[in-house]
Amino acid sequence: MYSVKEAFYTLQGEGAQSGRASVFCRFTGCNLWSGREVDRARAQCTFCDTDFIGTDGQNGGRFADAEALATHLAALWQSTSNSAGARRYVVFTGGEPLLQLDPPLLEAMHARDFEIAVETNGTLPVPSDVDWICVSPKGDNALIQTRGDELKLVHPQPGVDPQRFSGLDFTHFFLQPIDPAPGRIATDRAPMASVVDYCLRHPQWRLSLQTHKIAGID
Ligand SMILES: C[S@@+](CC[C@H](N)C(=O)[O-])C[C@H]1O[C@@H](n2cnc3c(N)ncnc32)[C@H](O)[C@@H]1O
Ligand SMILES: Nc1nc2[nH]cc(C(=O)O)c2c(=O)[nH]1
Ligand code: SF4
Ligand SMILES: [Mg+2]
């Protein structure tokens, strides 16, 4: 059984795949926060910009098995695109997708000709057969997944020096300015200034903007 908060067809907004048409599958639940505002201050991850509680979002629900969920997700691509010439792409996120993403679901999406990406906080191992791994470390939580395609660090985080991650086995290193008030227009320019300054001084790191928020899409 899989619990999905929401699923939608959009453009990947962040990181090296920014701008790419994607089916997003947002799983319910996370291991670093309950998702309840009353618990936020004492959570292991305190700055989350996402509602991942329940299954009541667009195209959300409970799915009995991998075939049912894969069919549901594949239909989101087909119903909204003329897919000729473009590789199908699904992004599993959450919440923390690795609490639920498993080999049968990966196999079912590959069987439907999708390239598979995951957005994870890095505290759980990524199964083999994921095609694009994005790890976004959170504070002092132990990092288990130390290799992948992109390491995308929300910045600044108290006590977290990007240098800590710069020797890990990733192809791309991104700093993403923290959105301090998700859902409202950003008026605090300090996170952006901090990221720009760091990337200028450490060219291994590049700026990742949350371009979907700029574009006004999901
Ligand atoms: C909501 S998380 C879900 C996936 C996974 N749990 C994780 O943390 O990577 C998706 C992406 O949004 C980023 N993110 C969450 N809250 C943010 C915020 N307030 N500002 C900027 N990025 C944020 C995360 O770091 C992660 O890269
Ligand atoms: N468009 C868009 N791109 C994204 N990249 C990562 C996201 C996430 O919440 O995991 C996200 C998201 O929520 N929307
Ligand atoms: S780990 Fe990811 S989903 Fe969980 S609270 Fe942090 S940003 Fe949100
Ligand atoms: Mg998001």
For 182, which DSSP code? Answer: T
Structure-token pair, residue 130: 């994921």
So what's the pLDDT on residue 86? 85
CATH 3.20.20.70 fits 2-215, yes or no: yes
DSSP state of 79: H
| Active site annotation includes 134 | no
Which-ligand-closest: CA of 153?
1
Tell me if residue 50 is catalytic.
Answer: yes
The whole-angstrom distance between residue 4's C-alpha and the CA centroid of its chain comes to 14
Angle 169-174-175 (CA atoms, 0-180°, nearest 5)? 130
Identify the nearest ligand to the CA of 9 by its number: 2
Confidence at residue 84, expressed as pLDDT on a 0 to 100 scale: 67
What burial letters (b/e) apply to 134-163, b meaning 16+ CB within 10 Å? bbbbbbeeebebeebbbbbbbbbbeebebe
Q: Which of 25, 45, 134, 199 is catalytic?
A: 45
Q: How far is CA 206 from CA 77, 114, 122, 177, 192, in A?
A: 30, 27, 20, 11, 12
Distance CA 80, CA 84 (A): 12
Pick the atom of ligand 3 nearest to 31's CA. Answer: 4
The residue among 49, 28, 23 whose CA lies nearest residue 95 is: 28
| Residues in the chain where the model's pLDDT stays below 50 | none
pLDDT of residue 181: 82
Q: How many CB atoms lie within 10 A of CB 172?
A: 17
Region of residue 169 (phi > 0: left; psi between -120 and 50: alpha; otherwise: beta) = beta
pLDDT, residue 61, reads: 98
**pLDDT at residue 187 in the model:** 77
Report the residue among 150, 154, 178 best suited for mutation to probe ligand 1: largest number of ligand atoms under 8 A from its CB: 154
pLDDT at position 78 is 81
Residue 174 CA to ligand 3 center (angstroms) comes to 17
Tokens of 175: 């700093």
Give residue 20's Cα distance to chain centre: 14
76 in ligand 3 pocket by Cβ < 6 Å? no
The one-letter amino acid code at 40 reads: R
Question: Has 176 been labeled as part of a binding site?
Answer: yes
CA 77 from centre of chain: 18
